[in-house]
Structure 1
Amino acid sequence: MQYYDDGFRGGDPDLKAAAPNRRDRTPFAPLPKKVDVLIAGCGPAGLCLAAQLSQFPEIDTMIVERKPGPMEKGQADGVNTRTMEMFQAFGFGEKVKRESYWVNQTTFWTPDPANPAHVRRVGRVQDVADDSSEMPHTLLNQARIHELFLDVMRKSPSRLEPDYSWSVKDLTVDPTTDDHPVTVTLENTGVNAGITKTVRANYVVGCDGARSNVRKAIGGELHGDAAHQAWGVMDILANTDFPDIRQKCLIASATEGNVLILPREGGYLFRMYVELDKLNPDERVSARNLTDEHIIAAANRIMAPYTVDVKEVVWWSVYEIGHRLTDRFDDVAEGESRNPRVFTAGDACHTHSPKAGQGMNVSMQDTFNLGWKLAHVFQGRADPSLLRSYSAERWVEAKRLIDTDHAWSRIMSAPPGESELDGTDMPRMQAQFIENLEFTGGLAVKYDQSALTAAPTHQALATGEEIGRRFHSAPVVRVADAMQMQLGHVAEADGRWRIYAFAGRNDAAPGSALYRLADWLKTDPASPVVRHTRRDEDIDAVIDVRAVFQETFDQLAYEDMPSLLKPEKGPLGLQDHEKVFCVDHKGLGDIFDMRGIDRDAGCMIVVRPDQYIANVLPLDGYEDLSSFFAGFLRPVGEG
């Protein structure tokens, strides 16, 4: 973590210096008449986007929420490894690791052939495959995750806070103007319920759930199907003789349905997803009048001979599995040439079952994708056409999610007998669970070739860092202070691009390929660093360049490192000593071997602000690097 670049001050280093000319948030202050970005909904998607945009005080952001205050309990709890990597970029990954339950093993229970009325353990699976991520799969109350994002917002230069008790009632887009073309009608849902206010915005992002008014206003519809199966979910404090209660468990009974157990943070709390009644094709789950007592009774039937003695029901709900997806995630209809002004994210554009643990995770990844693109446009770094890539990229991934979750839900809700042994040594649901591990970890996302994702022309230089997938971190040592760390953890949720330059063999001296690259990046007019960084900005304001050497830290001459890797930054012109890394020397792993980096030639790995790999190039691939960034970033002086 770096701070003091603008001078010493005591206190919490996460509390950023407040930007001037912020919005008046004193009691009874009026709502603004105009904003740059209006976000509807303080769920995970909305707060993830707000937390990103709050770091850019030049972007006037407003987030509204129909509830009177922040969430307190319930709803989602699973945080996959990909999301944990994202949390690290926001600065609270370690806090989540400390507070959460870590899913280490998943156990599987099926009917005992000797006594089918009872279940028995038939298998265990390591939940996170070795070296699939440096981060764990965790479980934590969604309300706590909301609070962590809200804390980022409060401490940001913008000092951003939600406007509670307001919801988007309707909106219209005027395609003939670029001056705040979206007119939003907000409706008060609190003490002044029914009162409406009008706010004009440059962009609106609907993170307002499956019944999204933002989606409806742009003509979007959710298409899909339902499994016609009622499930109950409850967070409980309880005693039980079930031996695996502190492990994630999938339990399939012979005649009573299935249960999914998820231990929760704190050592005592756990969640149960419990299969309840089959629904008629035209029936809604609300017609059954199911209660928490029905859920508890069903759980005890399914888990026999074990019992659950509930001491407190913290939260519960009954739901029906559904899989639905909109045909687009923005307001531009097929055939229209204009750039989008309104977007949807999360449940507003895709819904699915909660048991795969993907809903909250995918929702946040939606807006993690969108946030930096909005920032690029507002900062004049990119043309507004960049925003078309949001729907193009995220719709494909949502479709992948729907298809995979559809198959998994059918297995979890299979009729009695279909989840038992299928002639192999493994229950069907266990085999499917293993097959889905990359998907459930959030690691299956791969963006297609586009202006933001290059062709795999030089992929052989880094076989373990696949273009289109997220950058896979590995251990390194920071040369200046011999600090062991993960290379991926240098990336913050700050809208910057990263170039990781991996040195080739014998490439650790002036005049070598990596040194020549650094000098070209700093001085050549064709360099993307030179072309896209303004004179009044730090040299790494847009593209953050880091170097990784094959030698150990004590074999490198830090004093001879290129000046690009020791830049002077900030208002005081202080030197940054955290750009140069080398292989770990204490046995945690060699990043070159772990990620298939060509030891002879080295390479550059270009990483997007949302941590996805955009390009792999040779160290002398100057022209290709320049052309790649010119495909979406404006040269200084334009825009």
Structure 2
Amino acid sequence: MQYHLNGFKPGNYEVPDEVREPYPAPPIVDLPDEVDVLIIGTGPAGLTMARQMSVFSDIKTCIVDMAPGPLLFGRADGISCRTQEIMEAFNCSEMVVKETYQLKQNTYWEPDESNPENIKRTYKTADHRAGLSEFTHGIVNQARLHELLADGMEKSVTHLLPHYSRKMIGMEIDESLTQDLDAYPITATFERVDEAGAGKTETVKARYIVGADGARSSVRRSMGIPLQGDSANKAWGVMDILLNTDFPDIRVKSFIQSKDHGAVMTIPREGGYLCRFYVELDLLGKDKRASDVRLNEQDIIAKAQKIFHPYTLDVKEVAWWSIYEVGQRIAERFDNRPAGSSDEIIPRAFVAGDACHTHSPKGGWGLNTSLPDTFNLGWKLAAVLQGRSHPKLLSTYSTERRKVAQQLIDADRELSKLVATRPTAAEESDKAKIDTRKIEAFMKRQSGFVAGTSIEYFPSFICTGQENQHLASGFNIGQRFHSAEATRVADGRSQHLGHLVKADGRWRIFLFGDTQSPTDPSSAAYQFIDFLANDQSSPVQKYTPKGADIDSVFDTYAVFQQQDLSMHDLQDYLWPAKGKYGLRDYEKVFQAEEGNDIYDLRGIDRSAGCIVIVRPDQHVAAILPVSAHAELSKFFDVFMLEPS
């Protein structure tokens, strides 16, 4: 798809440039008095949280932002493979794939040895993230991603809409009420900042609050949580531009380092014409912030033109620009519990996204770490609010996501030093050595982290069974369920199994059968299905509410090696009767594809088979032998609650 030929225009890219309009703000209505979940901030973390909450009709959610309306110009526009997998869980990955500019190559430029005032390409490589997912790392306007999430909220069963033009001016947590699940211990006060409501204040009481309100988070400050880390005293300029140039790699992601003028990183943007530039500026003085730098977009352009010599940059339009500082900081904790608290202490306030981790934007990690923060938290909060899980589940959010944030901080610190040609204030050398191969080696080494596909959570009561990892070596416990295709038995359709794990709060149980036919009552697969369907100790029997569909809590799928199966020869549980008419579900049984065999692709033990338990956030929770009936029950008994 191509757009922005005659100038950058925000809005829905399905609409032609000449008639595209910016996203309208919803009408301003009063805030509710009481809610279950109060979300502050409509960035990627806040909208992802709201998008998850919107599918639960029995959970009252409110999302608030100080901005006058939806984001128009994207700040963090890199869309990782993992982020696209999450968008698939929200049923909107097709539009992201269609509109995203796919990054396929990287180029590296250094001073020309024969003429150091000029830059010269040293080499070009394929992007190292290729093959880590069925999706390709790419670039799309962050505002477009926001629109897809907001559109899903509005069209959900709750018809959730953001409340704009509200500034939070106070937040209190009544500590005497935090351990009472029925209480509303959070009190948040807001001031209207729109012209019509200027000066009006509103108060909302909430059971839980999620601060996704950026690096200067009011929620985090109200909780007394400090950011730990420091600034490297380095300023960079960033701009999205429409330009003419004779630089040959303008439509390829490029790292450019000059002899005397600094470095530039370029990233081609969606639409075929727009391009993002990150331009190295000067060191910041002590106690100085990027906002103190008295430069504008023309200064950034002039600096980039010097770095690109002998190539020319004729900038026709600057769609957006900013100056930022390189610094890495992480919140001491991600919820309101005191440091060192027991998992039995129930957290009622959380921070996510930039509110708990800040860094430079060059690695494209901001949005792609913020969005998974609340994708991790959302299903847990819903399970506790609905009384399906013990509240200790909420303590795993901080444990799991703070580890990822620390990895992000460490990686960003290393990349920032490699990309810059000049030392930071903390370095002693007068000049950093120019070596783009170190950047390339870093990107290759960190490809799984950059793509988001190698993010792995610590062992815990929702990440266990490591002793059985050999049964499916390609489904790493703690990492996301690595999708692969299988053929649906009922109709022969090829299906990505990972796309079955939607953001609806349900657990997935994948049975991978052994070499014995699942129609044989003596087979392990047959006996496992019989256990799930009929045994009173089965989690399906214990935790599925009476009268609900059999897959309302646990959605079970089976993949078999046998190629001659018929649905009607299999147990009823694998094609259950559902809904008010008792219609049969024919989309739960698959067979391995010849030539694209999931058993080979994911290292599944053919002779033994296995059970793979997948969390509602698509991460692998456990791997078990097919015969481990008691162990399966024990896994869920640790944190799930029987319906009252």
Relative to the length of structure 2, the TM-score reads: 0.92
Aligned counterpart, 1:289: 294
Please say if 1:506 is aligned against 2:511.
Answer: no
Aligned counterpart, 1:22: none
User: Residue 186 of structure 1: which of 174, 190, 209 is its match?
Assistant: 190
Aligned counterpart, 2:65: 65
Aligned counterpart, 2:277: 272
- Provide the rounded CA distance (Å) in 1 between the counterparts of 2:534 and 2:349: 40
**Secondary structure of the equivalent of 1:249?**
strand
After superposition, what is the alpha-carbon deviation per residue over 1:587-610, rounded to whole angstroms, capped at 9, x for unaligned? 4x2110010000001000111111
Do 1:260 and 1:274's aligned partners in 2 also have CA atoms closer than 8 Å?
Answer: yes
| Aligned 1:205-224 pairs, distance under 5 A | 205-224=210-229
Deviation of the 1:626 alpha carbon: 0.4
**Secondary structure of the equivalent of 1:598?**
coil
After superposition, what is the alpha-carbon deviation per residue over 1:362-406, rounded to whole angstroms, capped at 9, x for unaligned? 000100000000110111101222111111111111111101111
Deviation of the 1:266 alpha carbon: 0.7
Aligned counterpart, 1:521: 532
Paired residues, number:
605
Q: Please tell me the residue identity of whatever aligns with 1:526.
A: S
Deviation of the 1:501 alpha carbon: 0.5
Please say if 1:446 is aligned against 2:456.
Answer: yes
Aligned counterpart, 1:14: none
User: Residue 233 of structure 1: which of 231, 238, 242 is its match?
Assistant: 238
**Secondary structure of the equivalent of 1:106?**
strand
Moved more, 53-62 or 532-541: 532-541
Aligned counterpart, 2:545: 534
Aligned counterpart, 2:19: none
| Aligned 1:621-636 pairs, distance under 5 A | 621-636=628-643
Aligned counterpart, 2:591: 582
Alpha-carbon spacing, 1:167–1:522, altered in 2? closer, same or farther (3 Å): farther
Please say if 1:319 is aligned against 2:329.
Answer: no
Aligned counterpart, 1:12: none
Aligned counterpart, 1:591: 598
Deviation of the 1:27 alpha carbon: 6.0
Do 1:236 and 1:312's aligned partners in 2 also have CA atoms closer than 8 Å?
Answer: yes
Aligned counterpart, 1:572: 581
Aligned counterpart, 1:420: 434
Deviation of the 1:40 alpha carbon: 0.2
- Provide the rounded CA distance (Å) in 1 between the counterparts of 2:477 and 2:26: 47
Aligned counterpart, 1:459: 469
User: Residue 559 of structure 1: which of 564, 568, 571 is its match?
Assistant: 568
Q: Please tell me the residue identity of whatever aligns with 1:524.
A: D
Alpha-carbon spacing, 1:419–1:433, altered in 2? closer, same or farther (3 Å): farther
**Secondary structure of the equivalent of 2:454?**
coil
Please say if 1:369 is aligned against 2:383.
Answer: no
Deviation of the 1:477 alpha carbon: 1.1
Please say if 1:606 is aligned against 2:610.
Answer: no
| Aligned 1:97-496 pairs, distance under 5 A | 97-177=97-177, 178=180, 179-191=183-195, 192-336=197-341, 338-415=345-422, 418-421=432-435, 427-496=437-506
Do 1:567 and 1:575's aligned partners in 2 also have CA atoms closer than 8 Å?
Answer: yes
After superposition, what is the alpha-carbon deviation per residue over 1:168-210, rounded to whole angstroms, capped at 9, x for unaligned? 2221111323321111111212122332211100000000001
**Secondary structure of the equivalent of 1:238?**
strand
- Provide the rounded CA distance (Å) in 2 between the counterparts of 1:625 and 1:527: 8
* Consecutive unaligned residues in structure 1, runs of 5 or more: 1-24
Relative to the length of structure 1, the TM-score reads: 0.92
Deviation of the 1:318 alpha carbon: 0.7
% identical equivalent positions: 48
**Secondary structure of the equivalent of 2:321?**
strand
Do 1:465 and 1:471's aligned partners in 2 also have CA atoms closer than 8 Å?
Answer: yes
Deviation of the 1:236 alpha carbon: 0.8
- Provide the rounded CA distance (Å) in 2 between the counterparts of 1:345 and 1:125: 35
Deviation of the 1:503 alpha carbon: 0.8
Do 2:514 and 2:606's aligned partners in 1 also have CA atoms closer than 8 Å?
Answer: yes
Deviation of the 1:28 alpha carbon: 6.7
- Provide the rounded CA distance (Å) in 2 between the counterparts of 1:161 and 1:402: 33
Aligned counterpart, 2:428: none
**Secondary structure of the equivalent of 1:626?**
helix
Aligned counterpart, 1:43: 43
Do 1:456 and 1:615's aligned partners in 2 also have CA atoms closer than 8 Å?
Answer: yes
Q: Please tell me the residue identity of whatever aligns with 1:420.
A: I
Do 2:220 and 2:355's aligned partners in 1 also have CA atoms closer than 8 Å?
Answer: yes
Aligned counterpart, 2:3: none
After superposition, what is the alpha-carbon deviation per residue over 1:262-305, rounded to whole angstroms, capped at 9, x for unaligned? 11111111111111111122222222211101111111111111
Do 1:258 and 1:275's aligned partners in 2 also have CA atoms closer than 8 Å?
Answer: yes
**Secondary structure of the equivalent of 2:244?**
strand
Deviation of the 1:568 alpha carbon: 1.2
Q: Please tell me the residue identity of whatever aligns with 1:564.
A: Y
Do 2:128 and 2:444's aligned partners in 1 also have CA atoms closer than 8 Å?
Answer: no
Deviation of the 1:466 alpha carbon: 1.1
Deviation of the 1:254 alpha carbon: 1.4
Q: Please tell me the residue identity of whatever aligns with 1:453.
A: C
- Provide the rounded CA distance (Å) in 2 between the counterparts of 1:71 and 1:438: 29
Moved more, 361-370 or 453-462: 453-462
Do 2:130 and 2:136's aligned partners in 1 also have CA atoms closer than 8 Å?
Answer: no
- Provide the rounded CA distance (Å) in 1 between the counterparts of 2:129 and 2:146: 28
**Secondary structure of the equivalent of 1:387?**
helix
Aligned counterpart, 1:615: 622
Deviation of the 1:526 alpha carbon: 0.8
Deviation of the 1:419 alpha carbon: 4.9
| Aligned 1:74-89 pairs, distance under 5 A | 74-89=74-89
Do 2:40 and 2:63's aligned partners in 1 also have CA atoms closer than 8 Å?
Answer: yes
Alpha-carbon spacing, 1:419–1:597, altered in 2? closer, same or farther (3 Å): farther
Deviation of the 1:346 alpha carbon: 0.4
Deviation of the 1:336 alpha carbon: 4.5
Alpha-carbon spacing, 1:174–1:559, altered in 2? closer, same or farther (3 Å): same
- Provide the rounded CA distance (Å) in 1 between the counterparts of 2:358 and 2:203: 29
Do 1:412 and 1:419's aligned partners in 2 also have CA atoms closer than 8 Å?
Answer: no
**Secondary structure of the equivalent of 1:629?**
helix
After superposition, what is the alpha-carbon deviation per residue over 1:118-147, rounded to whole angstroms, capped at 9, x for unaligned? 111112232244431111101000100000
Do 1:605 and 1:616's aligned partners in 2 also have CA atoms closer than 8 Å?
Answer: yes
Moved more, 190-199 or 304-313: 190-199
- Provide the rounded CA distance (Å) in 1 between the counterparts of 2:576 and 2:419: 55
Do 1:40 and 1:167's aligned partners in 2 also have CA atoms closer than 8 Å?
Answer: no
**Secondary structure of the equivalent of 1:427?**
helix
Q: Please tell me the residue identity of whatever aligns with 1:611.
A: Q
- Provide the rounded CA distance (Å) in 1 between the counterparts of 2:404 and 2:30: 40
Do 1:502 and 1:548's aligned partners in 2 also have CA atoms closer than 8 Å?
Answer: yes
Q: Please tell me the residue identity of whatever aligns with 2:578.
A: K
Deviation of the 1:443 alpha carbon: 2.1
